[in-house]
Structure formats: C-alpha cells, structure tokens
Structure 1
Amino acid sequence: MKSTLSLQAINHAVEEAEQFLKGKRAAAKDVIRIKMGIEEALLTYQNKMGEDAEFSMDMGISFGKKRIRLDIPGAMIDPFISTELNSEEDDFMRQTLVRMGELPRWQYHHGSNRILFTLYKTRRPEWERLLIAVVSAVILGFFMKMMPMDARTLILEDVVSPLLAKFLGFLNAVAGPMIFLSVIWGVYSIGDTTTFSVMGKKLGLKYLFYLCLFTVLAALISLAVFDLRFGDFRGGGELSALYQMVLDIIPDNLFVPFARGNTLQILFEGIVVGIAMLLIRQETRVVADLAEQMSYIINGIMGVISSLVPEFVFGSLFMIIATSENDALAVGGLFFVMTVAVCILSMLIQGVHACAKIKMSPSDLWRKTFPTFVISITTASSSAAFPKNMEICSKELGIDKKMVSFGVPFGQVIYKPAVTILFWFAAISVASHSGTEISLTWYITAILMSVILSAAAPPVPGGMSASFAILFSQLGLPSTDLAMILTLTSVLDFVATATNIFSGQCVLAIVSEEIGFRKPRETIS
C-alpha cells in the first residue's frame, strides 16, 4: 500500500499489518510489538516531514520469515533514536537490540528511509527437536547394528559419514567470516573513543579479568577431575612453542587465515580493523555499512545451519551407536556436571564481590536480581530478559541511566562467563575421552580460545554451533563427540543464560560504583 502520512492512513497501515500478522498466526506479543513500532515510526516521520509526505508498506514472506517493510522517501531520519541519550551510546544500544531481534532494522537506502520488521517462522523448541533426534538415533542405531555388515557399511560410510563431514566443513567455512564481521561490528558499534575510554575500557577490563579468572579456575579444577594424557612439559621446547604461538597470531597474509581456518589470526584481523574504523569513524561509514550488511547475510546463513543441528546430532549419535562406540556417550556426564558447578561458583564469586563493593547484603542483591534470573533460566533468552534487565540495573541497583544504556547491551553481547566455562569443559572433556595429548601450549591455547570465542561469538542462531566447530578445529579435537556436546549444550543454555545475566548485573554495578555512575545508596529502593 502507498499513502500519505495522515493520521487516518497511519491507522489504516497499522490495521493492515495487524490483519497480516494474525493471518500468518504470529504470536500476540509480536503483533502488539510490531503494531506499536509501525505506529511510532510513522508518527515520528509525520512530525518531522508533515502529513503530506508519502510512505509505502510492503508485507510478505521471505525464506520462511514474515516481514513488513516501510519506505519513507525524504531526509535521513532514524525514528528509533532517543533524544534523551547521547547519539553514539544510543546507536550502540539500538544496533545491539536489532541483532537480538528486539527492534526493527532501519537503514537509509537511495534517498528513502527503510524500516524492516521481521518475524522468524515458528518452529518447535530446540530442546524438543533435539530430544526427538536423540531418541530416533538411539532406536535406529540399535536397529542398524542388527543389519548385515554390507548394508551397514553402505549406509554409514557411503551415506551418513560424508553428509556429516560436509556439514562440519560448511560450518567451518562460514564460521570464520561470521566471527570476523562480528568482531569488527562489535568494536565499531562501541561508538566513539570517548565513550570507550570512560565506560568501555573499564567494563572491558573487568569483563576480561573475570573471564580469565573463571577459565583458569576451571582449568585448575580439571586437573583433579579429568583423566588427561599430558606430554612432556620439561625443557625449552614448550616455551619456544608457546612463544611461536603468540607470534603466529599476527598473520603474514590477510586472506590465508580464512583459507586455513586460523581463528586466532582471524580474530586479530577483526580487532585491528574494528579499532581502525573506530578511530576514523566518519571516514569509514560506507565500510561499516558494508560490514553490517555482510554480517546480516552471514548470520542468516548461520540461522539456517543452526536449524540443521538436530539433524546433525541425529546423524552423529546414529553413527556412534551403530558402530558400537557407545563409550562416547560417557563424555557428556562430567561435562554437564562440571559446567553447572563452576557456573554456580562463578555467580557466588561475583555476587560476593558486588555486595562488598556496593555495600548491599546478599539477600537484597538476590531479591533485586531475581526477576531477571527467573526469566533467563526459564527461557534461555537474553533478549527476553533484556527489558527487565535494563529496569533492574537502573531502578533496583541504582546504576546511572547513561551507564545502563551502554553497559547492559554491551555486557549481554560481550560478557558471557558461563559460555567461557562451557567451552572449556567441552574441550577438556573431549580431550580426556579421545586421549588427546595435552601440552602446555595446548592448555594455554584452550584457555585463550574459550575466553575469546565466548566474547566473539555473536548472539544469533548458529553462533554457538559455529564456535564449537572453531574450538574443536583449533585444538585438534575429534568431531565424533560434537553431537553429544551440542545436545547437552541445549540444556545447559538455560543455566548459562541465567549465569551470564546475573554476572553482567554484578560487574556493571561494581564498575558503576568505581567510576561514580551509581546513585547514592539512600536514594535506591
């Protein structure tokens, strides 16, 4: 439809959008959210351009996703930028929310303001699809063991195994560009160097401290819990190898890291490019737009790959059971238990630190943060907890609104201590089960990869799966246990999300107190 920005036309557009979404069986909360977004955007343009200005609305389905697109020709105006906040900080928060699916995407395209509302196709919950895949794999796997050897060989080695190899190969191929673009956009979206120096630097260093602390703690605990096969740590060979590993982080060629899948070099390039773009921000706007567009494309591909994870789990477990490698199932027990235990330990450590710093009792801290904990542990969604997280940090923890606007989205994207812990125990569990020889260089590389990947992995469907593929490839771990790890991760995701949200609140309160961005204690409810 095409019309002017009169109040009657705006109301008609909202009604048309509502009928379209209801006709496609969109969830009620999504219908309300998109209706309000359309009305807010069009009223903003009406206020800026007048009622005689024109707009068009297009509705349809693309690649299984319901979408509504608004086009408003004229001056470049982002209707979702708040006038109450610093534009750089607000832009960072908006871009973060867009990537989390909480806000529509806005861009200025060929003289027209374009706003895209997208709803993904409703699917079964991932845990339900994984449960079906596991049960089916167990039943069919045992049935396969009763078949003649020739038939088993044909099905397993000539059909299933090549498909699994192709899936992992494609996952690795897309993972490199995904991490690269995610790092560039994450650094660039910080805003400006002033914002980063005041808030981002302090938060970033505190995040890095805790991520390293918990990973090293998990690594030390692993020495007592897991049966590991160590190489020779004596002599200068290990130190020489470790020094060479540090040097090898800097690539000799910009393109070779992508061809070889060298994650550390890809991350190094992404950080360097992101910082360079941040320092000369105005001159790199076109490059930033291109990086953002490419990031959306890669993330869309990862979403498709993520939807195939249950099928990959089915194929891998089917292979394990059909080939009598049932001992591989044992890899999941310690991985699950140790991940949960260290996540709880990390929350206790950060909670105690926060209580001591902001002079709040543990019971009060728990009472104030409990609502977001419930939301995150029952939904496994940081997006679902985001609005309540913003409210609690501002009203209950007394953090300055400016700090909340920057720190909450920054933390939810960058600071994921539970994911760091999860990556570590996934790596060490598989190394223990497969008998991988562990050297000092391997151990330190595993720690670095766990920390870096937890921060670099984008909060999009498929981000975690791609990160596991990168982790296993970099550490030389067999992919045969990846199915079990991914299956358990779908359950651990609930614990991990709750841990990440609570941890982010604690660190944000600590840093806010340290740099004077917290209200006086007597004014906090």
Structure 2
Amino acid sequence: MEYDPTLPWYRRLHWQVLSAMILGLGVGWAFGLPAANAIGWIGELFMKLLRMIIVPLVLTSIVSGVASVGGGRAIGRLFGKTMGYYVLSSMLAALTGLLMVNLIRPGQNADMGAAAQQEVPELSTPDSAVDLILDIVPNNFFAAASAGDMLAIIFFCIVFGAAITGLPEKPRVVVTDIFNAFFQAMMALTSGIIKFLPIGVFALITKMVGETGFDRFAALAKYFATIGSGLTIHLFITMPLLLIVLGRIKPLVHFANLREPLLTAFSTSSSGATLPVTIKTLREKVGVSNKVSSFVLPMGATVNMDGTAIFECAGALFIAQVLGVDLTIGQQAIVVLTALLASIGAAAVPSAGVVVIFIVLNAIGLGDNPEAITIVGAMLAIDRPLDMYRTAVNVFSDSCGAAIIARSEGEEGVDTEVRH
C-alpha cells in the first residue's frame, strides 16, 4: 500500500495500537483486578482469533511458498541460509546475556525473601536432540495440526510443497493455484482480524497490569534491569548491525515497517500468535516475497528465539549468583551453548522461557536445587513485562532474517522505503 500523507494519524494502525497500550496501562493501574476481570475476556477472545488462523495460514503459506521455490537444491539453499542466520543471531543474543549478567551481577545480595513467588507451570520439552528430531516428524498430520505442533506442521508442509514441485506441469499448476488461492483467502481473513488489534491490545494490557500491578519489581530490580538491558542491546545494536552488514538494509526503515508486529508481539507475549501479523507485514510493507517469508517466518516463530536465549543465559547465571555458585569460564560457555539449544525448543507461548530455563540449570548442576526452584518462582512473578519485551525481540529477529535472506536471493524491493 502506498504512503498517503493525507491520512490522519489516528487512522494509522500503529498509533491506534500504541494509544490502546497507554490506555490499557492507565485503566489497569487505576481500577486493578476488577478491570482485569471485566475486560480481560476480550483480550482472550482476540488471542483465540489469532491462534485460530495460525495453522491454516502456515499450511497455505509454506506449501505455496515452497512450491514456488523450485527443486530440492533451491529449498536446500534457502534452508541453509535460514538456519545459518538463526544460529548466528541466537548465539549473539546468548553472548549478550552473558555479558550483561557479568557486568551488572544482579544476583549479588539479592533479597529473594522479599520477592513474590508464583508456581512454575509444567511444559514438556525434548530431552535430547534425537527426541527433537523424532518429534519433528508427525505420526498424523491432522493430530499435529489439532495440537498446534508447529515443528511437525512445518516439516509436513515443506516436504509436501517439495513433492508438488516434482509433479507434471498440469497437476503442479492446478495444485499450486489452489494453495495460492487459499493463501490469499487466509491473508484476507488475517487483515479482517487485524482491524480489531487495538481493542485486543487494550484488553490484554489492562488484564496484565490489573492482575500483576507494579509492587513486585523492587526486590528483583537489578535482575529486571539486566534482562532489559540485554534485550535492548540486541534489539537496537546487534540486529541493526546484522541488517547493515548482511542485508545492506537501513535499520530505521525496517523498524518503521515493523511497527504493527512489534506492538502485537509486545502485547500478546506470543511470537506464534503474532505470526499472522508478521507474515502480512513482511509481504505488504517490508516487500519480502511469499517464497521467502513463508519459509523463514513460520520456522523462526518456532525455533528462532533470540530474546529467550538472552533470558535463559542471564537468568541461569543470575540464579547461580544468588546461590553463591561461582561459575568458571568453561561452565559459562556451557550455559551459552545450552541456552542457544534450549531457546530452539522453547514453545512460542507466554513465559515458556521461564520453564525451559531448567534445561540450562541442569547443564550446570542446579536443576534439582530446591532454592533454585524457589528463585525461578520469584522470577516468574515479574516475568510478564520481560516476556512481552523478549517476544518483540524474537519477532524482530525473525523479520530481520526474512529481509536479509530475501536480499541474498536477489529481491530488490526489500525495505526500500517506509510503507504505511
């Protein structure tokens, strides 16, 4: 869509969403739990609408995108670039978390007794790389789709799209056209749901502030600052440098084009729920083709968690500092590597990283420590705003990867201007 300078500011979606966030903060702070109970269901309804379209959108997007890529060699090249970028960005994120926790040392003299605690929920994660590989291949695609198992869905869609490229011309064109048509229909449905984004954001922020308030942050202020500073460095320094060096893209243009997905990610705390907004924005504003965006973004929402890598690395070292455990350079290297791998296995749902942190703690022998479990409970009590921020970082990293890979594939219209 071309930029219309005559469009009033209040008609632009990003200003509507930002205004909804500010209004939600005010209402939640002023009226507390009653407002959360009265308005929160609207936010839950909006989240259900977003989740409703994830599986059909990913299915049609990936199949049509892979079918348009071509043969196996082209798919292999695209897969290699995608995974190479994800490993690089996640490793840089984990190292940033390591740096900040060693500079600030938030665990020294931290008063965990004064910190509110919350029960740590259960979340199943693969126990090994072999289990992860086995989980990727579904026994039943429809069961995987019903359960929202994104890795299994992505795997099936990629191999199904690749199979379409091997068909004779006539059936290949017919099947590809069908999936392209379904994809266009899903994009139209996505556009309709996004129109209600400001209302959903207002309800979600009101519910969050009304339920948690701001009283819990004092005891964990240094921890909060450590995670927040690591996320800020990665979002505003590391990722822009990758855009410049790898993609020859102006970071300010990319930030401007990503306003709606970033605000949506911050409000929903779920990169999975934000995926429909991200796909729509990458195609219409950033200018990435469906061939690239359909391959990179769904996989990124599942396995590329830069913000989670920062949190898991810094969080594990924070717990070690609180317990008085002095980790060697070798042990900290294990934390970085484990945080990188654990972030890949983190579910694209709110606060999943807090649970997955036990994988990192197990790697340094603190997973069964009862005091460590108590500290994680305190961390979870103030995790929602941090989770909102790291979800925005996760989504921005996915979008940067799609833009960089699109440029490497010869697409010239990527982030050439700010598109409204």
Q: TM-score range by the shorter chain?
A: 0.5 to 0.7
Is residue 205 of structure 2 the alignment partner of residue 205 of structure 1? no
Shift in Å, 1:341:
0.8
Shift in Å, 1:417:
0.6
- More strand by percentage: 1
Match of 2:302 in 1: 413
Distance 2:57 2:414 in 1: 34
Is residue 56 of structure 2 the alignment partner of residue 86 of structure 1? no
Distance 1:362 1:269 in 2: 38
SS at match of 2:347: coil
TM-score, scaled to structure 1: 0.47
Report the CA distance shift for 1:521/1:220 in structure 2 as closer, same or farther (over 3 A).
closer
SS at match of 1:437: coil
Shift in Å, 1:493:
0.9
Larger RCO (CA under 8 A, 6+ residues apart): 2
Match of 1:185 in 2: none
Report the CA distance shift for 1:193/1:220 in structure 2 as closer, same or farther (over 3 A).
farther
Match of 2:384 in 1: 490
Q: Deviations over 1:138-169 (max 9, x none)?
A: xxxxxxxxxxxxxxxxxxxxxxxxxxxxxxxx
Structure 2, unpaired ranges of 5+: 1-39, 109-124, 150-211, 213-217, 367-371
Match of 1:334 in 2: 222
Matched to 1:335, the amino acid is Y
Distance 1:346 1:419 in 2: 12
Report the CA distance shift for 1:29/1:335 in structure 2 as closer, same or farther (over 3 A).
closer
Q: Is the 8 A contact 2:286 2:415 kept in 1?
A: no
Match of 1:224 in 2: 103
Q: Deviations over 1:345-384 (max 9, x none)?
A: 1112212331455444343222211222222223323344
Higher alpha-carbon Rg:
1
Is residue 390 of structure 2 the alignment partner of residue 481 of structure 1? no
Is residue 409 of structure 2 the alignment partner of residue 515 of structure 1? yes
Report the CA distance shift for 1:292/1:270 in structure 2 as closer, same or farther (over 3 A).
farther
Matched to 1:219, the amino acid is L
Distance 1:356 1:207 in 2: 16
Report the CA distance shift for 1:462/1:286 in structure 2 as closer, same or farther (over 3 A).
same
SS at match of 2:348: coil
Structure 1, unpaired ranges of 5+: 1-24, 39-77, 91-191, 230-262, 278-284, 297-313, 315-328
Is residue 128 of structure 2 the alignment partner of residue 267 of structure 1? yes
Shift in Å, 1:390:
1.3
Shift in Å, 1:434:
0.5
Q: Deviations over 1:272-312 (max 9, x none)?
A: 5368x5xxxxxxx647677778887xxxxxxxxxxxxxxxx
Shift in Å, 1:423:
0.8
Shift in Å, 1:208:
0.4
Matched to 2:404, the amino acid is I
Q: Deviations over 1:92-144 (max 9, x none)?
A: xxxxxxxxxxxxxxxxxxxxxxxxxxxxxxxxxxxxxxxxxxxxxxxxxxxxx
Q: Is the 8 A contact 1:343 1:418 kept in 2?
A: yes
Shift in Å, 1:194:
5.3
Q: Work out the percentage of aligned pairs sharing the same amino acid.
A: 17
Distance 2:304 2:76 in 1: 18
SS at match of 1:86: helix
Q: Is the 8 A contact 1:376 1:382 kept in 2?
A: yes
2:233 paired residue among 345, 350, 359: 345
Distance 1:353 1:450 in 2: 21
Match of 1:20 in 2: none
Q: Is the 8 A contact 2:58 2:294 kept in 1?
A: no
Distance 1:225 1:29 in 2: 37
Distance 2:99 2:316 in 1: 14
Distance 1:495 1:88 in 2: 30
Q: Is the 8 A contact 1:398 1:524 kept in 2?
A: no
1:398 paired residue among 262, 284, 287: 287
Distance 2:231 2:58 in 1: 36
2:274 paired residue among 365, 385, 402: 385
Q: Is the 8 A contact 1:355 1:365 kept in 2?
A: no
Matched to 2:392, the amino acid is A
Match of 1:186 in 2: none
Match of 2:208 in 1: none
Match of 1:154 in 2: none
TM-score, scaled to structure 2: 0.57
